[in-house]
Chain A
Amino acid sequence: MIEIVMWICGIMLGLASIACVIRVAKGPSILDRVLALDVMLLIISVALCLEMIYNKHTDFLLFVVAACTLGFIGSVTVSRYVSDQRNA
C-alpha cells in the first residue's frame, strides 16, 4: 500500500513544484520569485520526509529542522534589499 501512497504524494509534489517553477519563471517581480522559491524549499523538505517514511530512517530529520528554522532568512534578506533600493 505504501507504494501507491508514495506515487500519489510524489505526483502531487511534482505538480506543486512545477507550479512553483512556472511562478519563478513568470513572476512579475523579484518578490514573487523569492516567494515561489520559499515554497519550493518547503516542498523539498516534505519530499525528504516522504523519503524517510519510505525507507524508515531519520537521517534527514535535522535537514528538515534546519529548513524550517532558517528557510525564512533568504526571503527576509531579499525583501530587505528590495525596500532599501527606494529608501536609500
Chain B
Amino acid sequence: MEVFLDILVAVLLILGCLMSLIAGIGLLTFPDMLTRMHAATKPQVLGFLLIFIGLAIHLRSWAVIPVLALAWGMQLLTAPVSAHMIGRSGYRTKHAAKDSLYADELKLVVDKVSSMPATGVIEVPEEEKK
C-alpha cells in the first residue's frame, strides 16, 4: 500500500510539473498575446490540482485538505478574473496582434463604443450586428 501511494505521488508530481512546463512552452510558442493567455491560465489550474493531491497524500494528513481545497478554489475564482482583465485591456489597447484571428465579432462593437462620448447608456450590439 505504501509503495503504491508513493508511486501515485510520484506520478502526480511529475504530471503537475509537466503542466508548468506546458505553460512555459505555450508562453514561448504561441503567436499572439490572446493565445498566450490560454497557455498561462489553463495548465496551471490542473497542475495545482495534481500537486495538491500529491501533497495531501504524501503528508498522509487530513488536516491539510481544507487549506489545499481553499487554495485551489481561490485559484479557480481568481485565474479567470486576471485572464479577463489582461485580455480585455490587451484587446482594447491594440497590444494584441490581431493577424492570427480568423474572425472578430467584437471589433464593430468596440469601435462603435470608443467613438461615442464616455457617458450615457450604450445600446450597441443587438441592432448593430444584424
Do any beta carbons of A and B sit within 8 angstroms of each other in the complex? yes
Residues of A within 8 A of B (CB): 1-2, 5, 8-9, 12-13, 15-20, 22-23, 28-32, 34-36, 38-39, 42-43, 45-46, 49-50, 52-53, 56, 58, 61-62, 64-65, 68-69, 71-72, 75-76, 78-80, 82-83, 85-87
Q: Which of B17, B24, B47, B59 is A20 in contact with, Cβ under 8 Å?
A: B24
A contact face: mostly helix, strand, loop, or mixed: helix
Question: How many inter-chain residue pairs (CB < 8 Å) link A and B?
Answer: 158
Per-residue CB contact flags for chain B residues 31-52 toward chain A (1 = under 8 Å, else 0) read 0010011001000100110011
A28-B70 Cα distance, complex, nearest whole Å: 35
Q: How many residues of B contact A (CB 8 A)?
A: 50
Residues of A within 8 A of B97 (CB): 28
B54 engages A53 (CB within 8 Å): yes
Using A52-B55, A65-B67 as known contacts, say yes or no to A5 and B78 having CB atoms under 8 A apart. Answer: no
A85-B59 Cα distance, complex, nearest whole Å: 48
B74 engages A65 (CB within 8 Å): yes
Residue of A nearest to B23 (CB): A39
Q: Which of A5, A49, A75, A83 is B82 in contact with, Cβ under 8 Å?
A: A75
